[in-house]
Amino acid sequence: MAVSRRGGRRRYILFALMLASVTLLTLDFRGFGPLASLQSGVRTVLNPLRSGAEAVFDPVGDAWRGATGYDDLQEENARLRALLDEIRGDAISEASARAELAELNALLGIEYLDEIPGQVARVIGGSAGNFESFTVELDRGSGDGIAVDMPVVTEAGLAGRVVRVDRSRSLVQLISDPDFSVGVRFANSGEVGLGHGNGDDQRTMLVDEGVSAESEVVVGEAVTTAGGRSRFPGGVPIGVVKQLLGVSAAEQSVAVDLSVDVDNLDFVTVVLFDPDAVPDAEPLDQTPPDQTPTPPD
């Protein structure tokens, strides 16, 4: 009998729970006010608990998702870095090509050469042998029409002269060499003198012969090659007067700021100029025989 009573009690409890569930669902669908208040109160109590649980478990979920996606993220970052490096490299190469093209175009259209032909060449080496730091090597030679003593210029002006030629290479003595000499003309005063390189000061030429003490040479005056009885054609820019150094033996000494930066030569033009073709062309600026640089073996 006891067993029968316990079974009946269970059925009664089950029936009561089912009735309560149906009642709550019905009231919820009908928007029963007290029930809504009860639901709100339950949410008020449970929301902090839910927020706390989210605060605890969300980082765990994020960490898991981060760990499982880390390899993909690394691979994507590496791909983007490689793409950025490629873009940077292309931009640098393009800028360099544009600069070289502009430099070559400038050399091909040097106005002061007038009708004198020239051969564009690239500097491929620095000092050699006995010339110390006052020479550069070019990638053009006798096969390109280049000969010893031909002037070497840039768009800015005179850079040097050819002192040795092979079939495909040539050696240039720079204007900064103390043994380099050139006849110069001062544009405003018309004075003509003889200038030479200043050695360690690669940007200065000294004119200490031929300029009279009474000359009207002034600071800032343009200086060019003298032409006439010279190995260089006239009118090639050399620089501007930087300083008047004083008078000695009735001659004025002048420091000239060179227009060509011989430390940063890239492309140059070898002027295919033959001074022997100029009438009465006995060189004014011929280096004395005992000072002529001896080309390396």
pLDDT tens for the 297 residues of the chain, in order: 554 555 566 666 666 656 555 455 454 445 555 555 555 554 554 455 455 555 555 555 555 555 556 667 777 777 777 777 667 666 665 665 566 555 555 555 566 777 788 999 999 987 544 445 789 999 999 999 999 999 999 988 999 999 999 999 999 999 999 999 999 999 888 889 999 998 878 889 999 888 888 888 899 999 999 887 778 888 899 999 999 888 887 888 999 999 999 988 989 999 998 776 655 444 455 554 444 455 544
CA distance 293 to 297: 12
Q: What is the pLDDT of residue 168?
A: 92
Asked whether the beta carbons of 256 and 223 are under 8 A apart, the reply is yes
CA distance 233 to 228: 7
Q: Name the pTM for this structure.
A: 0.59
Residues 6+ apart with CB under 8 A from 217: 186, 188, 189, 191, 211, 241, 244, 252, 254
Tokens linked to 9: 């009690």
Tokens linked to 235: 């009118």
Strands 267-271 and 151-154: antiparallel
First to last CA, the chain: 131
- Any idea which residue has 């096969």 for tokens? 143
